[in-house]
Structure 1
């Protein structure tokens, strides 16, 4: 036997004469059945896993008649090894379209009990009379319902149509009959129409939870349902599923065929594969291991692996005895063929039963490099028994190894099995009983990879690690300053391009254009006195002095502005010059030890005339003061006179007053009208704004702003973001320098340890997120606002999901640019209803400057290098855990996909280490390669969910005859053997009682 294998199971399929919706083709009942059997026969293809149905659950409403007929007819293909009765009934619970359906798949060996212990116990009340679900009672119900027919089949269908069962009645039946319950798998569909998901609002949570708690499995192919009932929903994990619904639930699926064309063909090729013996107990085993034993889809990944690499799967071991008349009387290994499972095969038996002998035989045929560690063969290879026994292995593709006598050695060929004998690990674990020895063992493996020139004077890995290159902090600081400046500009552009700001600008522009239009309509007329008074000397003086006044004003303002600007530039230059000289001197002084060691003498001199620079600044300051003196009043309220600009300004103003006071009324009108026009023109220019440097809020300002936003802003923003990324990459390169010397030494180890997302053991030699990253990031976010990070829990989940999507655990941050972009994008946008919407950054980020500086300065990245187990340091590990770590450390170095053979790994482990550390690796390894394990502790086989268990026994009273018994955990005989040889009692493994029939 090969144990638990992946096969297609059809657990929900009707037949002709089904009590509802019989749509099978045929002119008569007999013809329908003939067509039914023919269709199935033509569909089945034993060479195609997708069409090789191994088990069929014949489904009907409140009846097993069709199941019994299929069994009696015996016309199904012989490849269908198991036929199960599936009784479908309806609950007195209303789904969306109809009452909720319910399925009971019974042990076919228990069908003779169903009439008295199940159907007769189901109760339905109609017109003040109680009816059971026996055939006779259902016919009576059909009659009493008013159905006018003498045909019992018609009346039976009518009775079934009416009959619904209270959930409490169903639950009571199974609570009161443990044997019935043990021989029944209860299933509820999860569809909206006739399943638990469709329960009406007034029946929802309480009843639905009761229903889920009662059933063992769910009929659904929806991936969301599958993950939910496996406890993979982040809001409803495994503990909550078990607490609320009693157990994790497998999701089964079937074609629900009521017609020929639907037979074995569910929608979307969502076939139901089950990994077990083809037995009712095998099906029950899925209840203990719903995730590992049920697959909904076109084909399980394991089957695809077997098809792709059949040469890497050992199909069987063939042992043969010599036919020589001179052979010994010792039976020892007789002629036999032992099948192996393509996933995990565990060889069990009492000590001295011949388990290791099988492992050594496989290693011999596969040319294992550990030949010198073969305990059994090295002990017996010179005996007559070894000479009389030959062995070979056959692979899945039919190719066999060379037949070998047990006293032969290995061939000069590549090994086709990775064999890890027990003694191989014993030698290692005996040398690392203490923590420090264990640490040295691990670190020395890495240290040995270092080139001698890299080691330098270091005598150990720890010493070497403490001396490797340090990050140039001053350079990183300068880069961070540049990033901060860029971030300031980016934030300004982000604010400029906000949608609400654009809307506001557009509204302002529209309103301003209307204001300008109204203002232009109010343009005043200027009384034209200029022509009449052309020769008027007074008017010419007025115009001349007015022009001079304007020029004087501009001259005063510009001169003062120029002086202040020149002074500021000189002061900034002086400050920066002093700062740079100081930095250079400080840097040279900080490297004094290095320069002395390298015998390098650096003489740095920098001189300049600081007095000349200071005198120039003082002179400018004095001139500025003089200008200010001209502008300010003295202590008596008098202005300074003379040839100063302010004096000229006062002179012009005096002349204007003199002229204007002597003008005629007509000229005053002209002056007033001209002032009115001047005021209008000033306002008009203010509304329009200058073309090149318009005042804020003017027409040209708004147009320029909108034009920039719609034009060059995006390009400028992208250029700044690119520059920011370049600086971040420079920082990352500096950080990476500290790891470069490790890359060549640990890359192979890291690759192996990183293959699995759920690794328990880690060699930390890379960049990692700071432990406070999520807290630091989210502390900058207003999680009460609408964004990708809204909600404390949801926001954290979103952030962790985003980061994990782009940073595999313990990687080298080689894609840091993409991570940063996605972090920023997650802030800028939110997906709502499948649409990408822009957020308001200013409202969701408390301080963008701080957050951007934090992210792009890469403050959230640090480096670590340490070996840890479940985040526990070496000195925190138990002796059993230390043994497990070393075992895992060496096992994971092997990335090959050839079969992996391990002999008694538990000898150096405690039970807790076996269950919590070794088992997860074995369970995952068996999905990517064939694993064969020898153990005298069957618990290891059970907790590792072995697909095949081979029980080996040696009978010394029968000339040391070795015998084998094979099967899956669900096989009753194997189950009994497991209990017989358990180390301790079955009570010790109560946690796995779903796997033991006790």
Structure 2
């Protein structure tokens, strides 16, 4: 770029007037005779928005164009930077009204372009009156006079001759194709309207002619949105068919076609023509190459980034190494190119520094290994500063040594994807938290503010959406654990039925034997007293059993008192605190939360005190009061007394009295008393055994009920898991819907939420810790249990409904429980050990800790965790370029093509940058020609560094412009590897004729 002083914003939108006549135009001149040019010029100069490029239209010649140039040379049209001829011809193809008009738009770059185009026109000949006439002024005058011999005035003859001549389309096409100068300097435009355009060719016989004319044209003159959509391949005919039928897409432009002073530069409905590019003819050529991105008809040009979010100028002060201290920036895609060490990254760093977009780690990077210019030049940067001017008018100045960076009030006004930043997020060491965090941020910001439920980030929103189901899962899992413990207890009771039955039978025999022994101690003559004693003994035993039952109740009531005091003092307050922590976003104040404090429905203190008093009273009534001792021969309890109504004390007293009558021998009496006591003791033990036996005999039924309850609870665990899965899927729904509707590279990115069952971990716990695989049985072999579970449970765990999971587990238990129990490390007779093991076994079997709900991010079907660093970089760019709609700040990227081959750059990135530049300012440092040419970069900044002085920084200069500028295109080809090939590929892809 030596010797080139070009430094501008490159391709910007400017208003063009591609079709306007001027005073003196050959046909339909309605501009008036009095100071026509003065009025005309004044009207053009006063237009808003101002016209900066004008194609002066004349029929079959350049007379008014040449007159226009004279006024420009005299100082008029100061705002118009580009003026070129538009030569209007009428073809011999009849339209709906008149004939099809075709236009030759001539580049003014050749200083001899007027003479050259006249040479081209001279080759267009029209046969009439047994003669041939050229499309030149002189020949048209001759034709006019020959057609109407009454005409004497040359001007009148010229006008009449112009109405007579019709150019043969085939001849015109041949003349253009045979002229190297014409192919290089002329663009063809054809009217698309029905009146004098190709749409007027409606007859079936004209279809081929119409297609050939439109194929020959580079530009369509039309302001119709429907026509624009058609010629961009967005309506009716896809792009591929446009390329086959018409040689590619075409830009639609519209002019005022002014033939009078009133309509000068004022098309109907303010349908102005806008061209993006420099004010040079090549911008029109570029619009033919990229009609969608560079040509538009409307009252205002297309908007891209918001002006307040665009950096419009960069100024570097106090830096003798910056030989181009002021650089304007385009609001679209800015590509910084240059040889190695030319200062490309330096400019990106300078811009990022001015945006407070360099992180602390970036400023502190090791100057010996960091790719950052500012880090490497830290000791040489001195007092240099950068001042950025934003589109909204604000300016910000920052030191380039980082001394005022990252202040507590600073906020990054751009996103800077430096090489260091991308490497940290996409390193080969594994997916860093940073990349996942960025993905989650984009997902979070894809939700509307209303859908975020006041969450501040993705993690908080995720917790809000899933906490309820996670809590439900924990509750149900806890319930399963409790029920499993109860089932284990019922299993243990079931196993005791036979033992308790035997013990009860043994106890009954023992009581019978004691009773027999006691009967042998009866002395003849005391049979009646013994019988009465035995009767009373049975009544006394019943009373003692009742007293024991009331004593058990009393102990339970006392324990309930302790539990109630503990619940009130610690349990309920702690449960309330846990609820407050789980539902921190409730917005309830302390007084409102008090309503959630768990309290007893009734006055339990009063009730329990009353229950204890009642139990004590019942015991007192059952015990009774011992009667006073009297004559040992007088009964203390009458023979006809209702024994069931008597308390224990008088009955015991009467039994004691009777015992003294059995025998005079004290030893015998003592033996009788002892046996009676033993019988009473064994009867109490028998009652306890029979109570336990009855409980054990009912264990099987209770166990089955508990197992049903556990199965149902297991299903509810999975209802909670599935609900959590659905809630997570809901978080991704907006982004997933957008990806599903997308195409190309963006469609390769996918998000999914699924359950993952780690059967290996689940089965290994049993095989290594719970089962004795030394025992012969179905699960003797290693991994045999894992294999069975993978087949029977994994599909339901990962994809089944709650009912399907429940059914699968029920079937698994039914099929394998006995086999699993056969591998128990303890025999059922080892009650304590087997009891502890069975509880552990149940907790394992119905545990769900091995099942997680996880969201996965895939690119082209491969989990992001398994992608190469380069492909992760594509995912990162996908996020910032195509999905991060909420971020409209400038995006600065240093060498996005790193780790990608040129084809991948084209296939994966080009479309992303084209999409992104329509929404935000994008600044890239690149070596890749595709990212400059095929993205149709709006501005190319070429960096160049001079010799590197000892102890200082080399001088760095920048020049800037658009692709429509020839020196810039040459720099792209010279600097970027494959530049010329990229231009050819662009032409091939777009079916653009290289002669343009």
Interval containing the TM-score (normalised by the shorter chain): 0.5 to 0.7
Inter-CA distance 344–877: structure 2 relative to 1 (3 Å threshold): same
Inter-CA distance 988–186: structure 2 relative to 1 (3 Å threshold): closer
| Counterpart for residue 53 of structure 1 | 51
Q: Distance in 2 between matches of 1:128 and 1:6?
A: 51
Inter-CA distance 748–205: structure 2 relative to 1 (3 Å threshold): closer
Q: Distance in 2 between matches of 1:42 and 1:440?
A: 54
RCO comparison, higher one (Cα < 8 Å, 6+): 2
| Counterpart for residue 41 of structure 1 | 45
| Counterpart for residue 344 of structure 1 | 333
Q: Distance in 2 between matches of 1:64 and 1:409?
A: 61
| Counterpart for residue 515 of structure 2 | none
| Counterpart for residue 380 of structure 1 | 376
Q: Give the CA deviation at 1:947.
A: 0.6
Residue in structure 1 matching 2:68, options 67, 70, 73:
70
Residue in structure 1 matching 2:728, options 742, 754, 761:
742
Structure 1 position 954 matched with structure 2 position 955: no
Q: Distance in 2 between matches of 1:445 and 1:345?
A: 24
| Counterpart for residue 907 of structure 1 | 898
Q: Give the CA deviation at 1:363.
A: 1.3
Q: Distance in 1 between matches of 2:209 and 2:892?
A: 50
Q: Distance in 2 between matches of 1:755 and 1:358?
A: 38
- The answer (yes or no) to whether the contact 1:742–1:765 under 8 Å persists in 2 is no
Inter-CA distance 56–593: structure 2 relative to 1 (3 Å threshold): farther
TM-score, normalised to structure 1, is 0.57
- The answer (yes or no) to whether the contact 2:321–2:955 under 8 Å persists in 1 is yes
Inter-CA distance 280–100: structure 2 relative to 1 (3 Å threshold): same
- The answer (yes or no) to whether the contact 2:254–2:272 under 8 Å persists in 1 is yes
C-alpha offsets along residues 304-328 of structure 1, whole Å, 9 cap, x if unaligned?
A: x66xx43211111001236xxxxxx
| Counterpart for residue 8 of structure 1 | 15
Q: Give the CA deviation at 1:179.
A: 2.3
Q: Give the CA deviation at 1:960.
A: 2.2
| Residue pairs, 1:310-325, within 5 angstroms | 310-321=307-318
Inter-CA distance 18–980: structure 2 relative to 1 (3 Å threshold): same
Q: Give the CA deviation at 1:5.
A: 0.6
| Residue pairs, 1:67-216, within 5 angstroms | 67-74=65-72, 75-110=75-110, 111-201=113-203, 203-216=205-218
Q: Distance in 2 between matches of 1:191 and 1:2?
A: 35
- The answer (yes or no) to whether the contact 1:26–1:35 under 8 Å persists in 2 is no
Structure 1 position 401 matched with structure 2 position 396: yes
Inter-CA distance 983–38: structure 2 relative to 1 (3 Å threshold): same
Q: Distance in 1 between matches of 2:97 and 2:714?
A: 91
Residue in structure 2 matching 1:970, options 959, 964, 968:
964
Q: For 1:89, what is the secondary structure of its paired residue?
A: strand
- The answer (yes or no) to whether the contact 2:275–2:295 under 8 Å persists in 1 is yes
Q: Give the CA deviation at 1:276.
A: 0.9
Q: Give the CA deviation at 1:253.
A: 0.6
Q: Distance in 1 between matches of 2:995 and 2:431?
A: 41
Q: Distance in 1 between matches of 2:92 and 2:706?
A: 86
Q: Distance in 1 between matches of 2:923 and 2:751?
A: 30
Structure 1 position 247 matched with structure 2 position 248: yes
Q: Distance in 2 between matches of 1:168 and 1:141?
A: 22
Q: Distance in 1 between matches of 2:382 and 2:311?
A: 24
Structure 1 position 992 matched with structure 2 position 986: yes
Greater Cα offset, 898-907 or 875-884 = 875-884
Q: Distance in 1 between matches of 2:433 and 2:240?
A: 38
| Residue pairs, 1:833-982, within 5 angstroms | 867-869=857-859, 881-889=871-879, 892-893=883-884, 895-956=886-947, 960-982=954-976
Q: Distance in 2 between matches of 1:390 and 1:227?
A: 47
Q: For 2:396, what is the secondary structure of its paired residue?
A: coil
Q: Distance in 1 between matches of 2:59 and 2:705?
A: 88
Query: How many pairs were matched up?
Result: 623
Q: Distance in 2 between matches of 1:414 and 1:434?
A: 27
Q: Distance in 2 between matches of 1:345 and 1:925?
A: 12
Greater Cα offset, 386-395 or 944-953 = 386-395
- The answer (yes or no) to whether the contact 1:143–1:155 under 8 Å persists in 2 is yes
Q: Distance in 2 between matches of 1:148 and 1:864?
A: 93
Inter-CA distance 876–17: structure 2 relative to 1 (3 Å threshold): farther
- The answer (yes or no) to whether the contact 1:356–1:934 under 8 Å persists in 2 is yes
Inter-CA distance 106–168: structure 2 relative to 1 (3 Å threshold): same
| Counterpart for residue 257 of structure 1 | 258
Inter-CA distance 391–871: structure 2 relative to 1 (3 Å threshold): same
Inter-CA distance 99–409: structure 2 relative to 1 (3 Å threshold): same
Q: Give the CA deviation at 1:145.
A: 1.1
Inter-CA distance 100–388: structure 2 relative to 1 (3 Å threshold): same
Q: Distance in 1 between matches of 2:728 and 2:277?
A: 46
| Residue pairs, 1:515-526, within 5 angstroms | none
- The answer (yes or no) to whether the contact 2:749–2:858 under 8 Å persists in 1 is yes
Q: For 1:66, what is the secondary structure of its paired residue?
A: helix
Q: For 2:941, what is the secondary structure of its paired residue?
A: strand
TM-score, normalised to structure 2, is 0.57
| Counterpart for residue 18 of structure 1 | 25
- The answer (yes or no) to whether the contact 2:929–2:979 under 8 Å persists in 1 is no
- The answer (yes or no) to whether the contact 1:346–1:933 under 8 Å persists in 2 is yes
Inter-CA distance 256–915: structure 2 relative to 1 (3 Å threshold): same
Q: Distance in 2 between matches of 1:432 and 1:76?
A: 66
Q: Distance in 1 between matches of 2:390 and 2:438?
A: 37
Inter-CA distance 359–371: structure 2 relative to 1 (3 Å threshold): farther
Q: For 2:25, what is the secondary structure of its paired residue?
A: coil
Inter-CA distance 979–207: structure 2 relative to 1 (3 Å threshold): same
Q: Give the CA deviation at 1:736.
A: 9.5
Inter-CA distance 445–107: structure 2 relative to 1 (3 Å threshold): closer
| Residue pairs, 1:405-444, within 5 angstroms | 405-406=400-401, 408-412=403-407, 413-431=410-428
Q: Give the CA deviation at 1:204.
A: 1.8
C-alpha offsets along residues 442-486 of structure 1, whole Å, 9 cap, x if unaligned?
A: 79999977549969999xxxx99xx9xxxxxxxxxxxxxxxxxxx
- The answer (yes or no) to whether the contact 1:883–1:909 under 8 Å persists in 2 is no
Tell me which structure has the larger Cα radius of gyration.
2
Q: For 1:256, what is the secondary structure of its paired residue?
A: coil
- The answer (yes or no) to whether the contact 2:188–2:218 under 8 Å persists in 1 is yes
Q: For 1:401, what is the secondary structure of its paired residue?
A: strand
| Counterpart for residue 353 of structure 1 | 342
Q: For 2:887, what is the secondary structure of its paired residue?
A: coil
Q: Give the CA deviation at 1:177.
A: 0.9
Greater Cα offset, 7-16 or 887-896 = 887-896
| Residue pairs, 1:660-739, within 5 angstroms | 737=723, 739=725
Inter-CA distance 369–117: structure 2 relative to 1 (3 Å threshold): same
Q: Give the CA deviation at 1:407.
A: 5.1
Inter-CA distance 114–381: structure 2 relative to 1 (3 Å threshold): closer
- The answer (yes or no) to whether the contact 2:942–2:958 under 8 Å persists in 1 is yes
Q: Give the CA deviation at 1:348.
A: 0.8
Q: Give the CA deviation at 1:437.
A: 14
- The answer (yes or no) to whether the contact 2:413–2:890 under 8 Å persists in 1 is yes
Inter-CA distance 433–26: structure 2 relative to 1 (3 Å threshold): farther
Residue in structure 2 matching 1:760, options 747, 753, 778:
747
- The answer (yes or no) to whether the contact 1:343–1:947 under 8 Å persists in 2 is yes
- The answer (yes or no) to whether the contact 1:124–1:130 under 8 Å persists in 2 is yes
> What's the Cα RMSD here?
4.0
- The answer (yes or no) to whether the contact 1:122–1:132 under 8 Å persists in 2 is yes
Q: Distance in 1 between matches of 2:926 and 2:269?
A: 43
